Amino acid sequence: MADVWSFPAGRSFTFTIYKHLSAEPSRKWVNSYEAVSISSGALVDLVTLGRALKNFEEACHPASVYFEKWEVRTGARDGRPYNPNTFYEEPIGDFGQNGVTMTNPVDLNLCVWLNRSVVTGRAGKVFFRGCLQETDIEAPGGSWSFDVGSYNEWETRIATANGDWLTSYLSGGDSMILKLVIIGPNGEFPRPILSFSLNGVTLVKKLRAFFNRVNAPVHPAYAAIDVEDLQALEGAATAAGLTFVPLE
């Protein structure tokens, strides 16, 4: 298994950006992106892409969203003892940079919906939370959509950020080491991404595991459990009257 210090061609990586509202630090969420190496590389290459993804997202978010950190991981599962060479994380400590003052923000369930456009198959999705306010949206047919003026502003914003920060890592870009892709559920068929483009507005539940992270107290039943032993962990949860759902 390749690590983040050095890697050959054909390795996959997941980049994750952690955010929260500046006024509510306990409510966190993430967005994740996938990349594959098309030639051998090193940590400096991963850091360059990670920072580009961070800059892309900051350019799309208002200052009311605080960017906490980003990380990159290989496909290796966490274990005991854990291998520190399988991931890298870097603090950010910045706010969104899109210049919009959020006077009347809407519920965090309403998200800006981006497409990860690809040549074949369905487009991937990216949901930006904490970006919309009442003047951005309307619901003339009973479902939420962008106001025409706001749609045009967001379309330009996404296209500009895409061009400024991600072009090199997209299909046809000049990066010769890493490319942004969509990877199948079992790690198969990585599809190169052509662009990130605006789709519209959509409702996303707050508790989607890949989208939201909440700091929660540890239940007493988990206190003395060796997390490497998944069966014991599941059994402890069941005994405590809880439902244990492991996150992949």
Instruction: Check residue 86 and give its pLDDT.
Output: 85
Rg of the Cα trace of the chain? 19
DSSP codes, 73-84: E-SPPP-SS--G
If one counts the domains in the chain, the total is: 1
pTM over 0.85, yes/no: no
CB 16 within 8 A of CB 70: yes
How far is the C-alpha of 105 from the C-alpha of 94, rounded, in Å? 20
Instruction: Check residue 76 and give its pLDDT.
Output: 64
10-residue mean pLDDT series, the chain (248 residues): 85 94 89 95 96 98 97 77 84 96 92 93 93 90 86 95 95 92 81 94 70 38 38 52 46
- The domain of 18 spans 6-214
Distance separating the N- and C-terminal Cα atoms of the chain: 18
The answer to whether position 238 is within a domain reads no
Structure confidence by residue, pLDDT tens digits, 152-186:
999 999 999 999 999 999 998 988 999 999 988 77
Distances (CA, A) of 75 to 12, 99, 171, 188, 242: 7, 36, 22, 12, 29
Instruction: Check residue 240 and give its pLDDT.
Output: 55
**Sign of the C-alpha dihedral computed for residues 163, 169, 173 and 174 taken in this order:** positive
How far is the C-alpha of 171 from the C-alpha of 165, rounded, in Å? 14
The answer to whether position 101 is within a domain reads yes
The answer to whether position 150 is within a domain reads yes
The answer to whether position 233 is within a domain reads no
Structure confidence by residue, pLDDT tens digits, 46-55:
999 999 999 9
The answer to whether position 241 is within a domain reads no
How far is the C-alpha of 207 from the C-alpha of 109, rounded, in Å? 10
The answer to whether position 74 is within a domain reads yes
The answer to whether position 103 is within a domain reads yes
The answer to whether position 245 is within a domain reads no
